[in-house]
Chain A
């Protein structure tokens, strides 16, 4: 399964190589050109000879992870997060370093704590990775400063119609983008598997600049906080209710006419759709929509519970609905001469 392979591959911001190589193999038979740009984005094109709006589809390859920043005198590894990780989820977890070494993030035993300590979260400063090294020399021989540590999580079916795994943000987008490239659309397409989203939406900025598309669709995995007794107004998105179309976030305000187009088409085709009801976070759409003279952009996301943690959860239904909706949008596009929302043409 594509999503399983992608989820279990390790690749954080600036170290997306394994994911990029895997994706390149996957898409090679289905695209016309394929290249890696100067910052590491994997760029593929299809139907460049066709007229009509050039559409960029993007998904980011990088995931959140840990970077080794110091090795202590007794051979333990100190680390910082790459991307947004709540340090509280790291306690009592195994991690993988350099594809070969396993380490654990332990914590002082409950027996040795004062009761107040248990109320306080452990911070990055207090945490460290134990790889079983007997000395600093042994640790240094196995791990270099700047190496990355990744969560060890199997991607598996979960509950009723769900999947759990790591890095669904945004390997789920990568998987959908690969599936889209396997199909045929009568418009020129640029696929950009971007780098460094988690550290500041950096790959997408470069990709949008040099591919200069007329329109962009960002495919994401986004926050779903529809859990337990959390009040409904705080859910942002909900599992099983279809892909989420973004309205606004920290990096972009999405055009109402484009959103209307997406919503109408979803309704016509009977594809479930929800709106992303929250403005926290941001994604590649931020730099893309303000690239050069501006690029009309929409974001469609698969809702993920427990995003940026060791294990997140998505709904299979949402995954396929997202794929279908984007296919329908791409099929609908040739009917439109220009995609600019400023045009009078009814979207």
Chain B
């Protein structure tokens, strides 16, 4: 049972991960999400901003619970085509220039065209050159096409994604691109699956949001549109690695990180940790003293204010193309969320009272 569930979560994550959906260009990911959520929910829709909404009705229709996980990814964009046909590019979202050299990419022109971000061979490097990071302005994408062919296929403004498969590592660990935050979308899927076995009073609307990476924009508009009574965002958080000692205290594989701090309604944090304890689900506590940098940050102050919580999946190497997560954390996040929702009282007002 558990293995089957991990398998299905893994497959959905791979599908989403290998798809292309840079901020503002999430349509193809949105349709994958809609297709997958449809059988799990009562109603699936999409707004002009590209946000996907999947409504699972509660048995009493008391209140609206919003789940939010963003489906966009960071990426690149063609900003110039040089006379010899090499593409110069800029970024969408926080891309570390040091992760780009010698990467294979897809340029989404008239067709999806494979390209390579070229690197100078070590034979031609000057002394000391290799200690400095190559600047993005100096990089170019080679698509192997003649300037005439490029003119037909590619324009300034075309979106570029990294070309990366997903890879199983040891245990239930997986590596790939865009797990930030497609893994969060998978958590919503697991939660919806779990909810179909549980009773829940309130309506649940799982929202796959857009444009988080460029300023939490989809969450802003979708929270305004929905105006929910309670919201929980699902995102990823840094998991410790040898080079983040002292900076990061969350570990891979030790359960979802449950946030607390000014961005988080205390009752939601309390109920999430109680739910975890009750169902023997491992969690880690993530105190966030200010901006959480997630959808939760925008949702909390929409309209008259929305009580908001945040669950984060531990992830290593965020914003590289080899983001690494433990599928068990994904599964546990989904279960925690489902049990949290199922155990909410009918009267949310009292529950959320300070």
Contact = CB atoms under 8 A, between A and B. Distances in A.
A138 B119 contact: no
B133 A108 contact: no
Interface in B171-221: 171, 173, 175
A79 to B, nearest CB: 13
A309 B142 CA distance: 14
B119 A88 contact: yes
B114 A158 contact: yes
B130 A86 contact: yes
B178 to A, nearest CB: 13
Contact of A107 (B96, B131, B142, B238): B96
Contact of B146 (A106, A109, A160): A160
B122 interface: yes
Given A130-B316, A134-B253, A305-B118, A112 B248 contact: yes
Contact of B170 (A94, A112, A138, A225): A138
A85, A126, A227 — most chain B CB neighbours (10 Å)? A227
B318 interface: yes
A132 interface: yes
A234 interface: yes
Contacts of A103: 169
B140 interface: yes
Contacts of A89: 101-102, 119
Contacts of A92: 99-100, 103, 317, 320-322
Given A112-B244, A142-B170, A159-B145, A228 B140 contact: yes
A201 to B, nearest CB: 14
Nearest to B170: A132
Nearest to B95: A110
A344 interface: no
A313 B144 contact: yes
Contacts of A86: 119-122, 125, 130
B124 A94 contact: no
Give the interface SS of chain B, mostly helix, strand, loop or mixed. Answer: loop
B171 A134 contact: yes
Contact of B123 (A112, A164, A223, A227): A223
A138 B253 CA distance: 15
A104 B99 CA distance: 12
Interface in A141-168: 142, 152-153, 156, 158-160, 162, 164
B98 interface: yes
B238 A112 contact: yes
Contacts of B120: 86, 225
Interface in B106-143: 114, 116, 118-125, 130-134, 140, 142-143
Nearest to B325: A132
B149 A160 contact: yes
A88 B133 contact: yes
Given A89-B101, A121-B130, A236-B124, A159 B144 contact: yes
A84 B120 CA distance: 12
B175 A102 contact: yes
B243 interface: yes
A76, A88, A131, A153 — most chain B CB neighbours (10 Å)? A88
A88 B134 contact: yes
A109 B168 contact: no
Given A106-B320, A142-B170, A162-B144, A280 B123 contact: yes
Interface residues of B, number: 64
Nearest to A130: B324
A310 interface: yes
Contact of A104 (B171, B324, B326): B324
Contact of B121 (A109, A111, A121, A225): A225
A311 interface: yes
Contacts of B169: 101-104, 130-132
Nearest to A309: B102
Contacts of B104: 153, 164, 310-311
Nearest to A280: B123
Contacts of A104: 167, 169, 175, 317, 322, 324
A306 interface: yes
Contact of A313 (B116, B173, B175): B116
A159 B324 contact: no
B241 A106 contact: yes
B31 interface: no
B289 interface: no
B130 A227 contact: no
Interface in B302-354: 316-324, 326
A94 B82 contact: no
A314 to B, nearest CB: 10
Nearest to B133: A121
Interface in B269-323: 293, 316-323
A240 B323 CA distance: 37
B86 interface: yes
A270 B38 CA distance: 63
A160 B119 CA distance: 20
**3 interchain residue pairs of minimum CB distance:** A159-B144, A132-B169, A106-B317
17 contacts: A76-B241, A86-B125, A88-B130, A92-B100, A92-B103, A94-B167, A108-B241, A110-B96, A113-B96, A118-B96, A120-B133, A121-B132, A126-B243, A128-B242, A130-B316, A160-B144, A311-B104
Interface of B: 82, 84, 86, 94-104, 114, 116, 118-125, 130-134, 140, 142-146, 149, 164-165, 167-171, 173, 175, 238, 241-244, 247-248, 253, 293, 316-324, 326
Given A132-B324, A223-B121, A229-B82, 20 more contacts: A88-B101, A92-B317, A104-B175, A109-B96, A109-B244, A118-B98, A119-B132, A119-B133, A130-B241, A130-B324, A131-B170, A158-B114, A158-B144, A159-B114, A159-B145, A228-B86, A278-B124, A306-B119, A308-B122, A309-B101
